[in-house]
A and B are shown apart, each in its own frame.
Chain A
Amino acid sequence: MSDRGRYLFAVATGLDPSDLEGQVGIDGEPLQIVQHDRLQAVVCDVDLEQFGAEGVRQNLERLDWVEKVARTHDSVVRAVAARATVAPLRLVTVCLDDDSVASRLEQWELPLRAALQRVEGCREWSVKAYSPTPAAGAAGDDRADESGTAYLLRKRDESSRRHSAGREAADTAEAVHLALAGPSRASRLLAPQDPQLTGRTEKMILNGAYLLPEEEEQGFLALVDDLRSRHPGVVIELAGPWAPYSFAVLEVADDR
């Protein structure tokens, strides 16, 4: 009936309404908290023309719309994470009214509480490693005087060099990941991103997410520096802290 819906950003616990002052939701709408027992859903009003099933289907094809919503979503989640324990929800979770939001909290109460407990006091850090792309054969240009056989041999040689460089990079990535996973409360491997996306010429060999208790972050950052000096051949990039997106899941999972 209503042409307004409720957009859900995250589920939290321990949040005070005043913690959200100064932060707005989608299209500048004020944020509100829908409570069930100790679980709190952070929501704001949205226009169902934009966020109804049909509107969303069309809008999700527009990268500028997706970017706007994604950045707002993340900024609200960040604001909540700064004050309370948070389990971010996936983009574009929309209910019709507060009763419906509350019934979701009730329905998922136990797994939500478990998810919040797993990430309590922790933040997510992203570590990516890049390996320089092995140079194509030393004298890589095609040579006019080269015989067909010589050409094929050279190509095969180049390809096997590339392959073994790839394996070496994978070993390094795995070593870096294991070193970082050790002190983390949990870790997760995400798919490496393509150079088109990263805008870098080097190949991404590790895209890891690590969940760390705040009091152990300094040690983790030092470990990253240490790994940088131990593996001078790869570029190790650290980003964060993120809200625990990669670790807020509704299941009993051991991600290690």
Chain B
Amino acid sequence: MSEISSAAATQGYAPARQGSTPPANLADILERVLDKGIIIAGDIQVNLLDIELLTIRIRLLVVSVDKAQEMGIDWWRRDSGLTSSRRELETENRELRERIEQLEQFENKAGSRQGRARKQS
């Protein structure tokens, strides 16, 4: 079973600074270009954490902390780099929950207004 990758991966090695290696899979690229690399604010304000659909879609596919703990593989959480992104995730989750609450309140209000409107008519 462990041989699976040696052959496949060895083909990918650029012997020296050749610059061309086979295209890596998208998850590995996204993991690096979205979550790693130098962060310098440009003139265009982009907060990648604001991008709900994408981040949710991608972050959901990363093993959740609870699930990892349940499986006993949460040891990587001790890494400082990760704990900071975990904080970001927690903030993000909190913000999302707040937004959902707001939406629900909004919907309730709209619902009761509609109810009143119906009664009046």
Contact = CB atoms under 8 A, between A and B. Distances in A.
A207 B32 CA distance: 12
A32 B93 CA distance: 39
Contact of B37 (A48, A57, A88, A96): A88
Contacts of A173: 73, 75-76
A157 interface: no
A172 B53 CA distance: 35
Interface of A is mostly: mixed
A205 to B, nearest CB: 5
Contacts of A249: 38
State the 5 A-B residue pairs at the shortest beta-carbon distance, nearest first: A82-B19, A166-B72, A245-B32, A237-B5, A189-B79
Contacts of B41: 93
Interface string B1-36: 111111001001110111111011011111111111
A185 interface: no
Contacts of A5: 43-44
Contacts of B61: 193-194, 196-197
Contact of A192 (B35, B53, B73): B73
Given A214-B16, A239-B9, 18 more contacts: A60-B46, A60-B48, A60-B54, A88-B38, A89-B37, A89-B39, A90-B33, A90-B38, A91-B33, A92-B46, A95-B42, A163-B72, A166-B72, A169-B73, A221-B13, A235-B5, A249-B38, A253-B80
A71 B29 contact: yes
Given A88-B37, A198-B27, A237-B5, A242 B32 contact: yes
Given A61-B51, A188-B81, A232-B2, A248 B37 contact: yes
Interface stretch (A72-80, A135-143, A144-152): A72-80
B15 to A, nearest CB: 10
B82 interface: yes
Nearest to A241: B14
Nearest to B36: A245
B12 A192 contact: no
A74 B32 contact: yes
